[in-house]
Amino acid sequence: MPFDSSAFVAAELPSRMRRAAAPLQFFLLGMVIATWAARIPALRDALQLSAAQLGVVLLSGGVGAVLSFPLAAGLIARAGARRATLYSGLGLLLALPAVAAAPDMPLLMAAMVAFGAAASCFDVAINAAAAEAERVAGRSIMSLLHAWFCLGTFGGALSGGAVAGAGIAPLAHYGATALLLALPLALAFRALPCDRPDATAGKKRFAVPHGPLIALGVIGFCGAVAEGSITDWSGIYMKDQLRVSDGVAPLAFAAFSAMMFGMRLVADRLKDRFGARRIVAAGAALAALAIFGAAAAIDVASTIACFAAAGAGLAAVFPFVFSAAGRHGATALAGVATMGYSGGLIGPPVIGFIAHGFGLQAALAFVGLLSAAIAAAALKSSWLE
């Protein structure tokens, strides 16, 4: 009889490890994304890229992410969400050092396509596994899991700043991070419950929202542009506009992630008391004011504080939008998610082009305008409730 490793995957592990598996995967994804983002200034300087060229590089990552949706759906359909997390996670850890190893812009773009595709596949897979865990648990856990992602980005940004400040090259940094995260990836895979391949997973790949759902899609789109732009450009902004060192530059994103994490821990209780529409609108308005404050670039401390406030303001956008769309069925959720990921694709390179033509402060102010648009759309969207 052939050996079946799935027979002891979850049963042989302590219950605490089984409970920690899904949070660990979200933390891992956040750690990888922040580790990559923390060294963007060093990667740009090494290849002497202009703002527009860096925007094209970031666009390559977004293209890889969006084009990978059929791959992610097919992987889950054929292997199940649990195995898909392992395969895509290994691809992500291999792609991370490949980005730093690229010797020129064309190869960097190719590496970014692979990195974006792997990150997107892993994101889809862990959310699919989390949805199954939520179903088994019989209670909502998705918002808390997304908070663990924020904790991972916070840790990655802080450690990235420390490593950059120590003068360690991005390739060594990325390679060491990939090696360190390989064990948690394997442990989380073993701890996840076995699941069956989902033959229907590949049917809804590029759905487009319609009717009242468009408002949710617009909110998700603008939220993805704002969050992705701060992730990719806050370090560049700190270094170029405020002349900070490579060790200090990631602190803006670290503060953004920390406040987003803290807010997501309490967002569900605020939603029960005040309603999702008010929380998203008030938070987005706060984010708009904070981003305008960061665009003023008064000094390092106040700018970092403004990025932190922006993280708190944008924290509820994705959990509440996806929750609202999910209540109206899988097709609605797929459509809104597609618009959200499209915003993540378009946003960072658009910021690069604006920065190239009008400067980084104007580009950041544009993100503030988008946050204000989220607040206006949330007030008019009854579907958030």
Token representation of residue 47: 């290849």
Is there a single domain that holds both residue 129 and residue 214? no
Mean pLDDT, residues 160-179 taken together: 93
Domain boundary among 134, 163, 193: 193
Pick the more confident residue, 35 or 321.
Answer: 35
Q: Does residue 198 belong to any structural domain of this protein?
A: no
- So what's the pLDDT on residue 363? 94
Tens of pLDDT, residues 336-345: 766 777 787 7
Is there a single domain that holds both residue 114 and residue 216? no
Pick the more confident residue, 194 or 298.
Answer: 298
Is there a single domain that holds both residue 63 and residue 83? yes
Tens of pLDDT, residues 347-382: 878 888 898 889 999 999 999 999 999 999 898 776
Sign of the alpha-carbon torsion through 208, 210, 213, 219: positive
Q: Does residue 347 belong to any structural domain of this protein?
A: yes
In whole angstroms, give the CA distance from residue 123 to residue 29.
7
Mean pLDDT, residues 8-37 taken together: 77
Domain boundary among 193, 221, 256: 193
Domain boundary among 134, 159, 193: 193
Q: Which residue in 229, 242, 249, 93 sits closest to 160, CA to CA?
A: 249
Q: Which CATH number does the domain housing residue 57 bear?
A: 1.20.1250.20
Q: Does residue 286 belong to any structural domain of this protein?
A: yes
- So what's the pLDDT on residue 49? 92
pLDDT reading at 14 higher than 70? no
- So what's the pLDDT on residue 263? 92
- So what's the pLDDT on residue 380? 79
Is there a single domain that holds both residue 166 and residue 67? yes
Band of residue 211 on the pLDDT scale cut at 50, 70, 90: low
Is there a single domain that holds both residue 185 and residue 246? no
The DSSP annotation for 56-70 comes to: HHHHHHHHHHHHTHH
Sign of the alpha-carbon torsion through 334, 336, 337, 339: positive
Domain with 64 in it: 15-193
Is there a single domain that holds both residue 108 and residue 232? no
Pick the more confident residue, 68 or 366.
Answer: 366
Is there a single domain that holds both residue 101 and residue 138? yes
Tens of pLDDT, residues 82-102: 888 999 999 999 999 999 999
- Terminal-residue alpha carbon distance, the chain: 53
Number of structural domains, the chain? 2
């898909």: which residue's tokens?
A: 84
Tens of pLDDT, residues 186-209: 998 888 776 666 555 445 545 555
Percent over 90 (pLDDT), the chain: 41
Is there a single domain that holds both residue 234 and residue 352? yes
Q: Does residue 5 belong to any structural domain of this protein?
A: no
pLDDT reading at 330 higher than 60? no
Q: Does residue 256 belong to any structural domain of this protein?
A: yes
Pick the more confident residue, 323 or 271.
Answer: 271
The DSSP annotation for 241-275 comes to: HS---TTTTTHHHHHHHHHHHHHHHHHHHHHHHH-
Band of residue 15 on the pLDDT scale cut at 50, 70, 90: low
- So what's the pLDDT on residue 3? 39
Q: Does residue 4 belong to any structural domain of this protein?
A: no
Q: Does residue 237 belong to any structural domain of this protein?
A: yes
Q: Does residue 346 belong to any structural domain of this protein?
A: yes
Is there a single domain that holds both residue 229 and residue 366? yes
- So what's the pLDDT on residue 8? 40
Is there a single domain that holds both residue 211 and residue 153? no
Is there a single domain that holds both residue 182 and residue 236? no
Burial 206-233 (b: 16+ CB within 10 A, else e): ebebeeebbbbbbbbbbbbbbbbbbbbb
Query: Around Cβ 248, how many Cβ atoms within 10 Å?
Result: 18
Band of residue 320 on the pLDDT scale cut at 50, 70, 90: confident
Mean pLDDT, residues 121-142 taken together: 72
Is there a single domain that holds both residue 214 and residue 157? no
pTM: predicted TM-score of the whole model, two decimal places:
0.75
- So what's the pLDDT on residue 217? 82
